[in-house]
Amino acid sequence: MDKKTVLQVAKLAHLECSEDEISYYQTELSKIVESFHDITNFQVDTADADNIDLTVAKKSTEKFWEKPENPENSLAIEDLLAAAPDKEGVFIRVPNVLDRTT
């Protein structure tokens, strides 16, 4: 990863980096990009896929994704909207953080 790209990422994140930090992030971000490249090019041998039991994996993730019927510590939509400082209909307005000119 080149210095220009690291500086652009830092600018988008509103970070100021020293030369040492830029060098460090060049190395670290390059490793991350290489890891994603490795993952996207990963080949799986599916020759014996018929022998794999996927029910175990499914059961282990079911609890993670299921929504509780009676969630604790939750707010009613009306209460949430009543507490919001700026809203439009059923939407809460938040400051735009992606279009800063600083």
pTM for this predicted structure: 0.42
Specify the residue for token string 């090019």. Answer: 41
Q: Is 41 helix (H, G, I), strand (E, B) or coil?
A: coil
> Does 102 have pLDDT greater than 60?
no
The tens digit of pLDDT for each residue in 41-96 reads: 777 666 666 655 555 555 555 555 566 666 676 778 888 888 888 888 888 888 87
Identify the burial level of 25 via C-beta atoms within 10 angstroms of its C-beta, where 0-12 means exposed, 13-18 middle and 19 or more buried. Answer: buried
pLDDT of residue 10: 92
**What are the tokens at 75?**
């707010």
